[in-house]
Amino acid sequence: MKQGLIYAFVLFIIVGCTSSKDFILFNETNITQPQAKQTITTLKNIKFEYKIQPHDRISITMYNHPELGTSTVQSQREDTKGVLVNSRGYVRLPLIKSIHVAGLSQTAAQKKIEKAFSAYLEDAEVYLEVLNKRAYILGEINKPGIVPLFNEKLTLLQILAMAGDFTNYANKHSVVILKNRNNKVHSETVDLTGPNSLRLANIMIYPNDIVYVAPNSMKSYNVGISEISPTFGLLGHITQPLSNLASIRYLRDTRR
């Protein structure tokens, strides 16, 4: 009886002093509501066009002069294929040496390189492709991290499938998508459990988009329990001698 009272008192003190955890990664996202507000329409009319960035890897194919393209350099590693755009946005190519391509779309960079080659070749035909397009998925997912976008875009459902689906602690009412368009970050919070879940699962994810799966309320509860469990273990070791002493005294008194 005494031991039970001791544990109850200690539990009251610890729970009262333990701070709650919100687990909110993005301030604009309210994950405590069962039905998160959907803002899909904010990006409906925004056109996506990938712009080459420093440290991208690009592949250049010269149709009439394949020896001048980057496809002649074979590599087993995806991160060393093609040619690297340096930190200043330039890429080095045969004949034309350095040419600035950062900030250009693939089509614009292709035309610029083709025009540069035309100064040396009469039949310059160039095809350019960025090799390292990727999206990111974080949070309550089985395989968080980088998702390659070989076809430039994937649906949200495909991204989730490649990331190994949700964990048991995922809040499917609150899947956050961050998109950088025209130097402005747009956020969408979608609910994948409602009647529109199939339509929402087909939202297109483009290079450098971020998908974040928020945790549900059980995650906070279980983390809180795991944090106080070592404390109870320590208290058990401390109170065990007191409990043993109380038991000895009880047995001694009953024998009298």
- The full set of domains in the chain, from first to last, is 40-46+134-217 (3.10.560.10), 57-130 (3.30.1950.10)
Token readout for 167 is 């964990």
Q: How far is CA 28 from CA 37, 143, 172, 200, 224, in A?
A: 11, 25, 17, 19, 24
Strand ranges for 9-158 from DSSP E = 57-62, 83-84, 90-93, 97-100, 126-130, 134-139, 145-148, 154-155
Give the Cα separation of 182 and 46 in Å (integer).
9
In this structure, the strands spanning 57-62 and 83-84 are: antiparallel
Distance of alpha carbon 193 from alpha carbon 189, whole angstroms? 13
Asked whether 176 and 188 are in contact (CB, 8 A), the reply is yes
Dist CA 82 CA 71 (whole Å): 7
Asked whether the whole model's pTM tops 0.75, one would answer no
Would you give per-residue pLDDT tens digits along the chain (256 residues)?
444 433 333 333 333 443 333 333 333 333 333 344 444 434 555 678 899 999 999 999 998 888 888 865 555 555 567 899 999 999 999 998 899 999 999 999 999 999 999 999 988 899 999 999 999 999 999 999 999 998 889 999 999 999 999 999 999 998 999 998 877 888 889 999 878 888 888 899 999 999 999 998 765 544 444 444 454 454 455 555 555 555 555 555 665 5
